[in-house]
Amino acid sequence: MKKIAMKTPLVEMDGDEMTRILWKMIKDELLLPFVDLKTEYYDLGLPERERTRDKVTVESAEATKKYGVAVKCATITPNRQRVEEYHLSEMWKSPNGTIRAILDGTVFRAPILLDAVRPAVRNWKKPITIARHAYGDIYKATEYRVPCPGKAELVFTDENGAETFRQTVYDFECPGVLQGSFNKDSSIRSFAHSCFRYALQTKQDLWFSSKDTISKQYDQTFKLIFQEIYDNDYREAFEKAGITYFYTLIDDAVARVIRSEGGFIWACKNYDGDVMSDMVSTAFGSLAMMTSVLVSPDGKFEYEAAHGTVTKHYYRYLKGEQTSTNPMATIYAWSGALRKRGELDGLSDLMAFADKLEEACIDTLQAGTMTKDLVSLVTPGTQVREVNSLDFIRAIRKNLESKLA
Ligand code: NAP
Ligand code: MG
């Protein structure tokens, strides 16, 4: 069989632990036999980040800016225990955080749906994609306990040293708590552009929610910036694509989401996105079936799985056990990246390959061959065959071969 050709290289970011093992299996079994794979390889595995003093992470993000499409394996974000385990000279920052900051991107998370795994919300029939604004608000807030009665004020001094605002927050008559949070127009703008772009790219409606009735400056700013950018830059394209932009209060959004059948993007402020993405992913079934893509406001894409490096499975693997770790989200990271690369380079073969790879995965699961995590989630009565990761990937390969023949 003639291998499918590529033009521009994909930025390939390798990672850690069990997902690094899956990464190689996926390449060996599902990609290299069929695609003349062109990648620019960056090893974001923790030992290489240590060796390069984390330069490799920055370089991989710069390469993504240059080429436009990346695929990333899950990576360890070091904590104290990891510093000891890997003999690190520093507690290196989260690679995802570093890449996100360089690309100024927004993360979109969407579940892979299966007929045999029913969402906890019965009427959900299509994926709900959550976009979280991962900057500012309580995550960068200043806060402290107020120890005694006294006056709390919000003061703003401009760059020339002139006091522009002074407002009483509260006259404390007893101890309490105080918090100052912020966001930046530039960051909200980037967030909005990423959301509108991704909605157009995936031809899905975009919802955005906040609490502007209560927060008349802070949340109102988010609402106004989204509306302005929509009117100026995207309204026409949305109308042409037959999709809509819809703003509503967060409470109303929650009610509508539960009553909906899915199939849209829900853009959330930082805290809302943090909480709602966990709720939505749990309600759809499994973290192992959740895909994730980072989209920059100028249209660069980095595809990955939403889960981590599955450490517990890796320790078992090191003892020589065969683990039944689910590679679906990592395979979809590859198919998503290859499809995007194909689209940008005008390679219809490559796009068709990505579709077939995903179909082969779904067919394998629908036929009942699956990893352990899914076995407990399928509707009772479904015929299942629990397999290890390699056998699962080989079963997908068989289906893929017949689709490509
Ligand atoms: P995790 O790797 O997502 O795994 C948590 C648990 O979820 C696993 O122990 C497993 O449950 C289940 N699970 C997750 N993915 C699975 C899969 N593909 N197949 C089957 N089961 C799966 O989260 P973690 O253990 O909290 O974090 C491990 C490391 O990953 C940490 O060092 C963290 O820094 C890193 N991390 C990286 C990213 C990223 O790069 N995007 C994201 C999150 C975490 P059972 O053990 O019950 O089978
Ligand atoms: Mg969370």
Looking at the fold, whether 401 and 350 belong to one and the same domain comes out as: yes
For residue 350, the CA-to-ligand 2 centroid distance in Å is: 35
Mutation choice for ligand 1 from 307, 323, 324, 331, CB with most ligand atoms inside 8 A:
307
pLDDT of residue 247: 97
Q: Which ligand is nearest to the CA of 107?
A: 1
Is the four-CA dihedral 12, 303, 18, 77 of positive or negative sign?
A: positive
Say if ligand 1 is within 6 A of residue 373 CB: yes
Please give the model's pTM, rounded to 2 decimal places: 0.92
Q: Is residue 289 part of a domain?
A: no
E strand spans, 277-366: 290-295, 301-305
Q: Is 70 helix (H, G, I), strand (E, B) or coil?
A: strand
Q: Is residue 1 pLDDT above 80, yes or no?
A: no
Q: Is residue 102 part of a domain?
A: yes
How far is it, in rounded angstroms, from Cα 47 to Cα 105? 26
Point out the domain boundary residue: 129, 158, 180: 180
Domain count, the chain: 3
CA-closest candidate to residue 403, choices 348, 366, 337, 357: 357
Q: Which atom of ligand 1 is nearest to the CA of 326?
A: 19
How far is it, in rounded angstroms, from Cα 274 to Cα 384? 34
For residue 182, the CA-to-ligand 2 centroid distance in Å is: 20
pLDDT of residue 306: 92
Looking at the fold, whether 202 and 310 belong to one and the same domain comes out as: no
- Cβ atoms of residues 108 and 266 within 8 Å: no
Looking at the fold, whether 158 and 194 belong to one and the same domain comes out as: no
CA-closest candidate to residue 97, choices 87, 89, 105: 105
44: left (phi over 0), alpha (psi -120 to 50) or beta: alpha
Which residue range(s) make up the domain with 330?
1-112+297-405
Kindly report which listed range (22-26, 135-139, 317-321) carries the lowest average pLDDT score.
Answer: 135-139
Looking at the fold, whether 192 and 172 belong to one and the same domain comes out as: no
Looking at the fold, whether 72 and 207 belong to one and the same domain comes out as: no
Q: Is residue 290 part of a domain?
A: no
Looking at the fold, whether 9 and 154 belong to one and the same domain comes out as: no
pLDDT digits (tens, 9 = 90+) for 28-80: 999 999 999 999 999 999 999 999 999 999 999 999 999 999 999 999 999 99
CA-closest candidate to residue 5, choices 341, 277, 237, 310: 341
Q: Is residue 139 pLDDT above 90, yes or no?
A: no
Looking at the fold, whether 126 and 253 belong to one and the same domain comes out as: yes
| Mean of pLDDT values over 108-118 | 91
| Mean of pLDDT values over 116-131 | 93
Q: Which ligand is nearest to the CA of 270?
A: 2
Q: Is residue 238 part of a domain?
A: yes
Looking at the fold, whether 131 and 16 belong to one and the same domain comes out as: no
User: CA-CA distances (angstroms) from residue 51 to 43, 85, 86?
Assistant: 11, 15, 11
pLDDT digits (tens, 9 = 90+) for 341-367: 999 999 999 999 999 999 999 999 999
Greatest mean pLDDT among 1-5, 171-175, 273-277 lies in 171-175
Q: Is residue 291 part of a domain?
A: no
Say if ligand 1 is within 6 A of residue 287 CB: yes
Looking at the fold, whether 122 and 268 belong to one and the same domain comes out as: yes
Say if ligand 1 is within 6 A of residue 94 CB: no
pLDDT digits (tens, 9 = 90+) for 151-164: 999 999 999 999 99
pLDDT digits (tens, 9 = 90+) for 151-204: 999 999 999 999 999 999 999 999 999 999 999 999 999 999 999 999 999 999
pLDDT digits (tens, 9 = 90+) for 75-96: 999 999 999 999 999 999 999 9
Looking at the fold, whether 213 and 64 belong to one and the same domain comes out as: no
Q: Is residue 292 part of a domain?
A: no
pLDDT digits (tens, 9 = 90+) for 216-269: 999 999 999 999 999 999 999 999 999 999 999 999 999 999 999 999 999 999
Looking at the fold, whether 155 and 227 belong to one and the same domain comes out as: no
Say if ligand 1 is within 6 A of residue 288 CB: yes
pLDDT of residue 104: 87
Q: Is residue 246 part of a domain?
A: yes
The CA-based angle 373-388-283, given to 5 degrees, is: 15
CATH number for position 32: 3.40.718.10
Q: Output the residue whose Cα is nearest ligand 1's atom 46.
A: 312
Say if ligand 1 is within 6 A of residue 286 CB: no
Q: Is residue 259 part of a domain?
A: yes
For residue 308, the CA-to-ligand 1 centroid distance in Å is: 4
**What type of residue is 230?**
Y
Q: Is 68 exposed, middle or buried (0-12, 13-18, 19+ CB in 10 A)?
A: buried
Looking at the fold, whether 239 and 370 belong to one and the same domain comes out as: no
